Amino acid sequence: MDSQKELKNLIDKLMIEDSLDSPSTDFTKNVIARLPIKRNSFFVYKPLLPKSIFVLAVALIVAVTYFVLNSYGLSEIDQSYLNRLNVVGTSVNDLFSQFRFSKTVVYIIIFAGLMFCIQTILLKRHFDSRIA
Amino acid sequence: MEQKGSQPNIDAILNGDSQAFSKLVDGHKNLVYTVALRMLKNTEEAEEVAQDTFIKVFKSLKYFKGDSKFSTWIYRIAYNTCLDRLKKNKKEFLNKSVDEITGFEIEDTSNALEDIIASEKSLLIRKCIEQLASKDAALITFFYFEEKSLKELSDILDLAENTVKVRLFRARARLALILKEKLALRIIENYG
């Protein structure tokens, strides 16, 4: 029995200095590459706002709107704020009344907008394929 | 001794979250690779088998019921994958028949071990374990790195607890004999 204990002590003493070996540096990457899953699931998309905060914000907006409508009434808001908006709108209209776009400029703006939309789609596809 | 990974987020992995799976791999890769290397005695094969182990872990994750520790479950897969590879290669490394080590020899070996510095000792252990049979090398590694109980070891190796106990004793005895031989050789080399 004593020799068993001695043997155990000897090996225990020996194994204290033992250390683990490490596989290659890109081991984990290689394992992930071999997984039978869609690669784009590497990223988990999470909404920027947690659901609870989003619900709270909506509730707050509804409550404030309800409070304002209840306190002042719709007719008062119509008279005071909408009239002021009208005044601002008129002055802005006066400011830009001299402005005239030529047909060419309008076509260029429409074409640029169209190109922007197409590029957005193309870029999205490009980055999706890079991630995958 | 070992830096273990925490309990993985199994649901996230099952939903395809590769980052959660990367964490799991990082937490266990060193021990899985070490066991594979010590059983197969070849770095390329060990790397391949260690990778296969994690692919099997991923595929079988939905069947993990939590009956045993998660690490125990992974190491059982690793051990069985190594055994499958050895069977496929038809070259399991077996122990050479050796004499029993006496109490006096153990004491002598222990004293000789005291004189060796830590870095040399680490190299010596590797050389000794290299000469152990595949199954003994795995048993010793799991026992000393994971500090597994006999029950957990019996789960990993699929053996009865008593058998594990006997095997552990024999593996220690073989390791001590190999160590004795190595130390004797070292002394001869130093004085030669």
**Cα–Cα distance measured from residue B18 to residue B180, given in angstroms and rounded to the nearest whole number:** 47
Alpha carbon of A79: minimum distance to chain B alpha carbons (Å): 56
**A27 inside domain:** no
Inspect the interface and report whether the beta carbons of B172 and A8 lie closer than 8 Å.
yes
Over residues B163-182, mean pLDDT: 88
**A75 inside domain:** yes
Counted residue by residue, chain B has a size of: 192
Percent of chain B with pLDDT over 70: 80
Q: Residue B30 has which token pair? A: 């060193």
**Cα–Cα distance measured from residue B140 to residue B162, given in angstroms and rounded to the nearest whole number:** 16
Domain encompassing residue A76: 51-131
Distances (CA, A) of A71 to A64, A85, B21: 10, 21, 56
**Cα–Cα distance measured from residue A104 to residue A94, given in angstroms and rounded to the nearest whole number:** 24
CB pairs under 8 A between A and B: 109
pLDDT of residue B104: 66
pLDDT in tens, B65-104: 878 888 999 999 999 999 999 998 877 666 655 566 666 6
Q: Is the pLDDT confidence value at B189 over 70?
A: no
pLDDT of residue B52: 95
pLDDT of residue B95: 60
ipTM: 0.78
Question: In sequence order, what E strands does chain B have?
Answer: none
**A69 inside domain:** yes
Q: Is the pLDDT confidence value at B24 over 70?
A: yes
Chain B residue numbers touching A6 (CB-CB < 8 A): 103, 106-107, 110
Total structural domains within chain A: 1
- Interface probe with A: pick from B39, B51, B77, B131, most Cβ of A within 10 Å: B51
- Interface probe with A: pick from B48, B172, B179, most Cβ of A within 10 Å: B172
pLDDT of residue A72: 64
**A56 inside domain:** yes
Inspect the interface and report whether the beta carbons of B169 and A7 lie closer than 8 Å.
yes
pTM above 0.90, yes or no: no
**A93 inside domain:** yes
pLDDT of residue B3: 42
**A12 inside domain:** no
Question: Are B51 and A30 within 8 A, CB to CB?
Answer: yes
Positive or negative, the Cα torsion across B107, B109, B111, B113? Answer: negative
Q: Is the pLDDT confidence value at B53 over 90?
A: yes
**A15 inside domain:** no
Average pLDDT, rounded, for chain B:
83
pLDDT of residue B1: 41
pLDDT of residue B141: 92
The low-confidence residues of chain A, meaning pLDDT below 70, are 1-3, 38-46, 72-93, 95-96, 130-132
Alpha carbon of B70: minimum distance to chain A alpha carbons (Å): 19
**A97 inside domain:** yes
Pick the residue from chain A with its C-alpha nearest to B177: A7
Residues 6+ apart with CB under 8 A from B22: A28, A32
